[in-house]
């Protein structure tokens, strides 16, 4: 599995601690240093079953500068949102964990992180 993290984020550090406690095998991607491409964002959204606005940190200053609060949230607007996430990875909710079974979660809670380790253990 892979986990997209910002090392300065307490939720990311907590998720890593849980993965380590579960002896999970994972790869860390510091997504601010190694931003995902638009294609990777589309793939993660499909795995999460979410839309780009669902994983956007709209409280970030760059979201305010871009005026994202007023952006439409319709299927025809997906590309605009995905482009903004790729160009400004700080806008991406974290941590995102992609599991080997094709699933993914936003690991902001202990239960979400553990759900991935359980599935990986079953595979």
Is 12 an active-site residue?
no
More confident residue, 121 or 55: 55
Q: What is the pLDDT of residue 123?
A: 42
Query: Cα(121)–Cα(23) distance, rounded to whole angstroms?
Result: 10
Give me the mean pLDDT over the 83-102 stretch.
96
pTM over 0.75: yes
Q: List phi, psi (to 5°) of 60.
A: -70, 145
**Alpha-helical runs (H) found in the chain:** 10-21, 38-48, 61-66, 78-87, 110-122
Give me the mean pLDDT over the 45-68 stretch.
97
Judged by DSSP in three states, 27 sits in strand
DSSP code, position 34: S
Cβ atoms within 10 Å of 49's Cβ, excluding its own: 9
More confident residue, 92 or 100: 92
Catalytic residue among 2, 9, 53, 115: 9
């Amino acid at each position: 599995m892979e986990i997209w993290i910002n090392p300065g984020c307490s939720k990311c550090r907590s998720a890593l601690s849980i993965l380590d406690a579960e002896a999970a095998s994972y790869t860390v991607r510091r997504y601010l240093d190694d931003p995902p491409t638009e294609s990777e964002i589309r793939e993660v959204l499909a795995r999460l079953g979410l839309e780009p606005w669902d994983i956007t940190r709209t409280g970030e200053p760059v979201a305010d500068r871009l005026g994202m609060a007023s952006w439409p949230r319709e299927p025809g607007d997906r590309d605009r949102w995905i482009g903004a996430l790729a160009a400004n990875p700080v806008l991406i909710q974290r941590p995102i964990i992609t599991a080997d079974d094709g699933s993914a979660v936003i690991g902001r809670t202990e239960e979400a992180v553990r759900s991935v380790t359980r599935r990986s253990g079953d595979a």
